[in-house]
Amino acid sequence: MKPRYYLILSLVWLAVIWVLSSLPAEEIPEVNIFGVDKIAHFGVYLIWGALTHIYLYKKGLNKKFRNVLVLLMFFLAALDEYHQRWIPGRDVSVYDLFANWAGLIASFLVLFPLKRWRK
């Protein structure tokens, strides 16, 4: 697939994350399994990180730009968590933020060695 398709998928996935985190608490099904929400946070950010990482790899962008983009991703994950402050029934959770960041980190830790292996 061409790099731009991964960029489009990454941006669409980010929009999905933002829409889901903008839903009022009453519209989200309640699951009473300990930690399942953290797994969900981890998973959606793992996917976003993977799509973005593949785009960066295929596009061949310079290291400085990649680093800035990765920092921007961490900022957007924090901003997404913070904006829930204004959503009815939702709140800001540092644990959710850590799960978001862990998903991003995991995507880079998994995909970085794979791209080296494929060369």
Check residues 117 and 97 and name the one with the higher pLDDT.
97
Query: Residue 60: pLDDT band by 50, 70, 90 thresholds?
Result: confident
Checking phi first, is residue 60 left (phi over 0); if not, alpha (psi -120 to 50) or beta? Answer: left
Give the whole-angstrom CA distance, residue 11 versus residue 111.
19
Taking the C-alpha atoms of residue 115 and residue 55, their distance in angstroms, rounded to an integer, is: 12
Domain boundaries, the chain: 3-118
User: What is the per-residue pLDDT for 114?
Assistant: 63
Average pLDDT of the residues of the chain: 89
